[in-house]
Amino acid sequence: MSSIAIPSSVSTTAINFQSDIPMGEAPTIEKSLPVRKKTIPKPSKRTKIFVEDITSVNELKWFLEEDERPVVIKFYAKWCKKCQRLGKKFDRLAMDLGDKIIDQQFVDGDIRFAAVEYNEESHNFITEDLQIRGFPTVQMYVGTRKLLEAGSSIKHVRKELSVIEDISHGDLMERAEEADDGVLTGLMEESFFDSPDFLNEEW
């Protein structure tokens, strides 16, 4: 009876494989399996523009006098469609150049921005005191001096900002004094003489 020869490589591999594995341990894989990487999105910076809401002559005066930077102010009414369109351009300009809050940190801009809403309370302040006749209206100030009456054009504001970008503060103040129409400064002088402190002052 003839015998079938079994190749030695088969039995040797099987014996070696069994003998190389210690009891109670699983075989390890030398080549690691590919792991799908999780893409973690970067935290987006939350940016909020800072536009001061002004409701009275005194608030406007304080806001203009507390800082030397130029100020851009929009006068608007909520129901005004043209004001809403201008508001988007105004906000973009404020985002580019104004004060911002980024990730809860306040960041100073080159220009400050303010807004005055037309309503029943602000009617006299806007139309009689500041003599503004239409909406929207955009103005620029340096201190309490009006640098620019831009009407409803943000383009005029950007043009003026490009002109004053590289001039000194002294030259900027001089430019504002030359351009000022005297409406706000005259109003402030009147309010000073009308104030109770001035009337009760002993000379």
With bands split at pLDDT 50, 70 and 90, how would you rate the model's confidence at 15?
very low
Domains detected in the chain: 47-199 (3.40.30.10)
Could you give the CA distance from residue 153 to residue 121 in angstroms, rounded to a whole number? Answer: 26
Could you give the CA distance from residue 42 to residue 103 in angstroms, rounded to a whole number? Answer: 13
SS3 142: strand
Residue 56 has pLDDT above 90, yes or no: yes
pLDDT tens across 110-135, in order? 999 999 999 999 999 999 999 999 99
pLDDT tens across 155-192, in order? 999 999 999 999 999 999 999 999 999 999 888 887 65
Residue 23 vs residue 53, higher pLDDT:
53
Mean pLDDT of 71-85: 97
Task: Name the pairing type of β-strands 51-53 and 112-117.
Answer: parallel
Could you give the CA distance from residue 83 to residue 54 in angstroms, rounded to a whole number? Answer: 17
28-67: string of b/e by CB count within 10 Å (b at 16+)?
eeeeeeeeeeeeeeeeeeeeebbbbebeebeebbebbeee
SS3 23: coil
Residue 137 has pLDDT above 70, yes or no: yes
> Residue for token digits 């030397």?
68
With bands split at pLDDT 50, 70 and 90, how would you rate the model's confidence at 13?
very low
| Angle, vertex CA 202, rays to CA 197 and CA 203, nearest 5 | 120
With bands split at pLDDT 50, 70 and 90, how would you rate the model's confidence at 84?
very high
Residue 86 has pLDDT above 90, yes or no: yes
